[in-house]
Amino acid sequence: MIKLTTLLFLLAVSTFATASEPASFETRVDMTSWSDGVAVFTEGRVKSYETFARSFMPYIMGSRKYENQDATFTYFDMMLRPEKYLGKDIIYVKHKGLRASIAAEIDNTDPITGQRLAGFMETGMISRELLQSTKVLSLLNRLRRDVRRFASPIEKIEGSIAVSDPRNMWASLRIIVPASGSMHEQWLTLDGTDNEQIIASWKKLAAAWRSGDPEVVNTELSTLSVLIPLLGAGTAIYPDAGKLRLESLYFKLGNLTWVWLIYLSSVVLLLMSFVYRFNTVGRIGMSLFILALLLHTTAVAWRWYVSGRFPNTNMFEAITTASWMGCVFATLMQLFLRNSALKYIFPLGAATAAMVAFLAVRLYPLELNPHISNKMPVLHDVWLYIHTNFIIFSYCLIFVAAVAASLYLIRRCIQKARGTDGTNDYARAGGIASLVEMRSGGRSTLNTNMGSVLDGATMILVEISFILLWSGIVMGAIWADHSWGRPWGWDPKEVFALNTFLIFVVLIHTRMKVKDKGMWTAILALVGCCVMLFNWIIINFTISGLHSYA
């Protein structure tokens, strides 16, 4: 446990730590004014340079950093001093099988190459030159034929090499607003301006960058970050400076995903208070939970403001928003049930869900990409907000139900080990009905023991998610009917949403008939959660379908 906690702590603080002392030029260059003040046009969006660089560099380096440099610095450096990166390990290869195949093709008799290849196997970072050697190119051409396994990773490698070309990076840096001021014209690179001050300042900047003069670089960056936005002055086309700063800050703060650590703390304390009935610990746990939820709410609202739309259009947003919904629900439940035996159980489950969600987006930034992009045309519909939110909210509640169910099963295992029978530990009235009993001031079965409390909480969550899921499926069908011309197409995602619902139908009917109601409810709630996760993970990432964008 101590080892695990230490590991988690290290993971949490790893982003704040600096691995090594970088060279002086890198540390003395201050990109802040440019990163926060200059807007870049890319793929139908205008974003701050900070955000742009952070979303661009993963195409080359994945989630890694080159010598711990900021993405904002590395972008400029690769563009202005490309020779520095010759032969350096800057391309990220994600596919581990492909890494092994590439490493096997490279002659590693030289100890330095051998060491680099060992590093490549571990980090996935390799140089363009090694990837472009005859043997590796020949290997990639061979492997490319295995379309399902290797075509996409090899395409990504080629894409990484192409975008790391300084000419490509220059062409992507569209920072000059069109002279017409029209919203419907593409922005231009610095080649597209005839403003002599900007050109002169850029020339000085580029020369100073190449010669490693941080003072001049900083001066010119500041000058340019004033001059360039002035080109868009008086038009609605250039984003507000405050919004650009906020956007940069949102990404600088790591999308606030470090909140998982506060959720973890609250999980530990809430679990202790729930199991041992430590009220003071419970209050501290709740305070941490509320703090985490406030930060979580800030993150959701911040993203909403920056992106200009409710955050539920990609996997990152679906996961973080779903867990936020679960936490808000849990807070409300805690508020209503603060004096009952059910207190702390909903925040505990929701905090676990939010913690897992934030950890997932931190650990898998490439799959759960946090960058903001335009919605696909099909997603521009009011049903995106209704159908998707119903579904993701139900999914979160299913997860929270699985947390309660797991605790129930753990308790039963402990009881079994102690030779106690827990068959009668279940909520007699069911889920919502138990709440009705409690609210009416009657004697609720939920007050009898912890087993019935856990079973009652599971049932409350199952009953609510049951209706939400079914309503979400129906609303999805209505949307599909006017979007794709048919309400139901047996797409894998549709089928597994239905499958999740079927499991809960089985749960409700099984509960009616079995003697050990609590245990079967818990088992089936866990199975339902597994099917839901299968739908969200395997169907999305492995078995493609029409819904693969979310």
Which residues 452-481 are close enough to bind another protein by CB under 8 A? Answer: 463, 466-467, 470-471, 474, 477-479, 481
For another protein, which residue of 276, 305, 484, 549 counts as binding (CB under 8 A)? 484
Residue closer to another protein by CB (options 147, 363) is 147
For another protein, which residue of 9, 305, 385, 541 counts as binding (CB under 8 A)? 541
- Angle (CA) 520-522-525 rounded to 5° is 105
Least separation in angstroms between residue 499's CB and another protein is: 5
Residue closer to another protein by CB (options 235, 287) is 235
Least separation in angstroms between residue 375's CB and another protein is: 9
> Does 485 interact with another protein (rule: CB under 8 A)?
yes
Site for another protein in 96-135 (CB under 8 A): 133-135
Site for another protein in 502-531 (CB under 8 A): 502-503, 505-506, 509-510, 512-513
Alpha-carbon distance 102 to 140, whole Å? 8
* Interface stretch with another protein, choices 205-213, 240-248, 375-383, 404-412 (CB under 8 A): 375-383
Residue closer to another protein by CB (options 315, 348) is 315
Alpha-carbon distance 274 to 287, whole Å? 15
Collapsing DSSP to helix, strand or coil, 39 comes out as: strand
Least separation in angstroms between residue 155's CB and another protein is: 12
Residue closer to another protein by CB (options 294, 467) is 467
Residue closer to another protein by CB (options 146, 215) is 146
Alpha-carbon distance 251 to 433, whole Å? 45
For another protein, which residue of 88, 499, 523, 533 counts as binding (CB under 8 A)? 499
Residue closer to another protein by CB (options 34, 187) is 187
Site for another protein in 376-405 (CB under 8 A): 376-378, 380-381, 383
For another protein, which residue of 349, 430, 456, 518 counts as binding (CB under 8 A)? 430
Residue 345, CA distances (Å) to 321, 348, 356, 391, 548 in order: 21, 5, 17, 22, 33
Inter-residue contact 187 to 158 (CB < 8 Å): no
Buried b (16+ CB within 10 A) or exposed e, 102-114: bbebbeeeeeeee
Inter-axis angle of helices 450-483 and 517-534, nearest 10:
30
For another protein, which residue of 170, 338, 489, 549 counts as binding (CB under 8 A)? 489
Least separation in angstroms between residue 8's CB and another protein is: 24
| 3-state helix/strand/coil string of 289-346 | HHHHHHHHHHHHHHHHHHHCCCCCCCHHHHHHHHHHHHHHHHHHHHHHCCCCCCCCHH
Residue closer to another protein by CB (options 226, 376) is 376
Residue 473, CA distances (Å) to 395, 467, 508, 535 in order: 12, 10, 19, 13
Residue closer to another protein by CB (options 71, 384) is 384
User: Which residue has tokens 């195949």?
Assistant: 101
Inter-residue contact 520 to 514 (CB < 8 Å): yes
Cα 61 off chain centre by: 18
Alpha-carbon distance 393 to 75, whole Å? 38
- Pair of tokens at residue 446: 């939920």
Buried b (16+ CB within 10 A) or exposed e, 335-367: eebeebbbbbbbbbbbbbbbbbbbbbbbeebee
For another protein, which residue of 495, 523, 530, 533 counts as binding (CB under 8 A)? 495
Give the number of residues in contact with another protein, rule: CB under 8 A: 80
What amino acid is encoded at 385 in this protein? Y
Site for another protein in 301-330 (CB under 8 A): none
Site for another protein in 24-63 (CB under 8 A): 41, 43-46
User: Which residue has tokens 């993963």?
Assistant: 58
Residue closer to another protein by CB (options 376, 410) is 376
Inter-residue contact 47 to 247 (CB < 8 Å): yes
Least separation in angstroms between residue 143's CB and another protein is: 10
Q: Lay out the site mask for another protein across 224-263 (x = CB under 8 A, - = otherwise).
A: -------------x--------------------------
Site for another protein in 133-152 (CB under 8 A): 133-135, 138, 145-149, 151
